[in-house]
């Protein structure tokens, strides 16, 4: 035997049995939608018997459910390496690739399955659906190249839109959002009504014009005795958004809010959420703030429901206009020059300053790397240093990275969102990195609480309010999502 030849030790019968037991127990946790415990047990199965494709494919599926797309992709790829004939491994890899917006690569996996199983109708369906997406995106890119100056907002003619006599919903007053309009709008939405398209378009055009004038990093002063509320992901859970206002009061000049990204997708009342938030932004522009999240992007919206929901409730043109608006959302907010709030997290470099954030050209779809990507996608980790992202985008950053960034920029701590937490929030990195997530029982499956943070200007100490999910009409999450995602997940 040469020194390069690796000796593979046979797996003992005891380990084989243990691994199967771990897998069986993990499957039970998965059925109960306790994905984190399922992942732990699949990991133990892999440690006991590391060359079984099924264990990796199953863990990949659990990672998909927890939005760890990078880990899901690595596991699915490993399952295929171990068993070239294992069809489910290709499906899992395709799902991970699609979740990362890599549709061409996903199509190759579906194509492979259709070749090795030409009579498999399920494989053929998935290949056909994915091929449609790839062709559609290629067509859209070609159109964009032909007309790269195209601006949807400029093509909208509000004056040509008539209000039908039978419309009985809220109306803008002299084209402006008022408090009465907002209260009437929320009541309309609670009853599953729809805002007239004329007013919906007017709100979008006005909010786009407003955001275009805003900086990438917004500075927010808070008076010593003033209260300020920070909310995390809402994800289309309109009735839980209403519960936040019940618990904490409606937005006003004396009750300011910051909503920290991921307003839409997953939940099937995203249109209601976004028009409520945009309406309050127009009503109280200096006391209501919104940060961009990773789900305020075209790829995410096409996969996870918002694009389909807008097309169902309004038009494809409006869906394109939303993309334009999202490109102008600020990427971060600095509270009292002491606390930085962003959706995702920190950076792959220790040299990034607040001025660097201010200089980011944000009017675009999120790139796959760099500071803009990291602000939207990164996550904290408990150990020092950095690691590749579990999501496949952005990075993971440790307590030392957080401390270095805060020291460099003379800040107290950061607030971010982006991750489901059982209690709705988590205090990490010795109190310097706080996560807040405001969508309770996320996707009607996770069982987590929601939370929001209240600060007072004088001390800027975070105080947490947690709450359970409230009932909503019988429309399931992901009801408008891309059909292929429902086939895969």
232 within 8 A of 341, measured Cβ to Cβ: no
- Superfamily in which the 13-144 domain is placed by CATH: Tetratricopeptide repeat domain (1.25.40.10)
For the segment(s) 158-488, the CATH number from 3.80.10.10, 3.10.180.10, 3.60.21.10, 3.10.105.10 is 3.60.21.10
- pLDDT tens figures, 220-240: 999 999 999 999 999 999 999
Q: Supply the Cα-derived Rg of the chain in whole angstroms.
A: 24
- pLDDT tens figures, 39-94: 999 999 999 999 999 999 999 999 998 989 999 999 999 999 999 989 899 989 99
Residue 174: predicted pLDDT: 95
- pLDDT tens figures, 256-280: 999 999 999 999 999 999 999 999 9
252 within 8 A of 287, measured Cβ to Cβ: yes
Torsions phi, psi of 14, nearest 5?
-60, -45
pTM of the model: 0.92
Residue 489: predicted pLDDT: 46
Model confidence at 159: pLDDT above 70: yes
66 within 8 A of 39, measured Cβ to Cβ: yes
Mean pLDDT of 159-179: 95
Alpha carbon 75 to chain centroid distance? 22
Domain residue extents for the chain = 13-144, 158-488
Higher pLDDT residue, 38 or 9?
Answer: 38
What amino acid positions are annotated as catalytic residues?
Answer: 295
Torsions phi, psi of 303, nearest 5?
-90, -40
Higher pLDDT residue, 253 or 144?
Answer: 253
339 burial via Cβ count (<10 Å: 0-12, 13-18, 19+): buried
For the record, the structure tokens of 205 come out as 């055009």
Handedness of CA 50, 54, 57, 63 (dihedral sign): negative
Residue 125: predicted pLDDT: 86
Q: Return d(Cα 204, Cα 432) in angstroms, integer.
A: 36
- pLDDT tens figures, 363-421: 999 999 999 999 999 999 999 999 999 999 999 999 999 999 999 999 999 999 999 99
248 burial via Cβ count (<10 Å: 0-12, 13-18, 19+): middle
Q: Return d(Cα 252, Cα 471) in angstroms, integer.
A: 26
Beta strands, E only, 136-274: 217-220, 227-231, 257-259
Q: Return d(Cα 383, Cα 397) in angstroms, integer.
A: 8
Q: Please indicate whether the domains covering 13-144 and 158-488 agree at the CATH topology level.
A: no
Model confidence at 99: pLDDT above 90: no
């Amino acid at each position: 035997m040469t020194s390069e030849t690796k000796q593979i030790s046979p797996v003992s019968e005891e380990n084989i049995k243990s691994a199967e037991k771990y897998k069986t127990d993990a499957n039970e946790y998965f059925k109960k939608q306790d994905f984190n415990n399922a992942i732990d047990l699949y990991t133990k199965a892999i440690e006991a018997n590391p060359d079984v494709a099924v264990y990796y494919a199953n863990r990949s599926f659990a990672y998909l459910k927890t939005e760890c797309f990078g880990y899901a992709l690595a596991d699915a790829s490993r399952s295929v390496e171990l068993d070239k004939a294992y069809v489910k491994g290709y499906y899992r890899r395709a799902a991970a690739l699609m979740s990362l917006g890599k549709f061409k690569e996903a199509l190759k996996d579906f194509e492979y399955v259709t070749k090795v199983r030409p009579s498999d109708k399920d494989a053929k369906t998935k290949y056909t659906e994915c091929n449609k997406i790839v062709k559609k995106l290629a067509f859209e890119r070609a159109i964009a190249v032909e007309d790269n100056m195209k601006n949807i907002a400029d093509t909208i003619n509000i004056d040509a839109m008539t209000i039908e006599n039978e419309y009985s919903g809220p109306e803008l007053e002299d084209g402006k959002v008022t408090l009465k309009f907002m209260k009437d709008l929320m009541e309309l939405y609670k009853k599953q009504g729809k805002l007239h398209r004329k007013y919906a378009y007017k709100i979008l055009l006005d909010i786009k014009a407003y955001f275009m004038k805003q900086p990438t990093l917004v500075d927010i002063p808070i008076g010593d005795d003033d209260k300020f509320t920070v909310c995390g992901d809402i994800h289309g859970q309109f009735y839980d958004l209403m519960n936040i206002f019940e618990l904490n009061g409606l937005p006003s000049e004396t009750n300011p809010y910051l909503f920290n990204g991921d307003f839409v997708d997953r939940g099937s009342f995203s249109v209601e959420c976004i028009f409520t938030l945009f309406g309050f932004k127009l009503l109280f522009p200096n006391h209501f703030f919104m940060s961009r999240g990773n789900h305020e992007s075209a790829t995410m919206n096409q996969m996870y429901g918002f694009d389909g929901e807008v097309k169902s409730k309004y038009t494809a043109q409006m869906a394109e206009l939303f993309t334009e608006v999202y490109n102008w959302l600020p990427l971060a907010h600095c509270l009292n020059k002491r606390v930085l709030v962003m959706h995702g997290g920190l950076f792959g470099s220790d040299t990034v300053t607040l001025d660097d954030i201010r200089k980011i050209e944000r009017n675009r779809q999120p790139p796959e790397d760099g500071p803009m990507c990291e602000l939207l996608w990164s996550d904290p980790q408990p150990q020092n240093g950095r690691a590749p992202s579990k999501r496949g985008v952005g990075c993971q950053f440790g307590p030392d990275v957080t401390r270095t960034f805060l020291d460099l920029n003379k800040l107290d701590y950061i607030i971010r969102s982006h991750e489901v937490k059982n209690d709705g929030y988590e205090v990490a990195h010795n109190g310097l990195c706080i996560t807040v997530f405001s969508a309770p029982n996320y996707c009607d499956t996770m069982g987590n609480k929601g939370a929001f943070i209240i600060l007072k200007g004088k001390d800027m100490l975070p105080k947490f309010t947690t709450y359970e999910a409230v009932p909503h009409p019988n429309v399931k999450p992901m009801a408008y999502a891309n059909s292929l995602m429902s086939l895969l997940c």
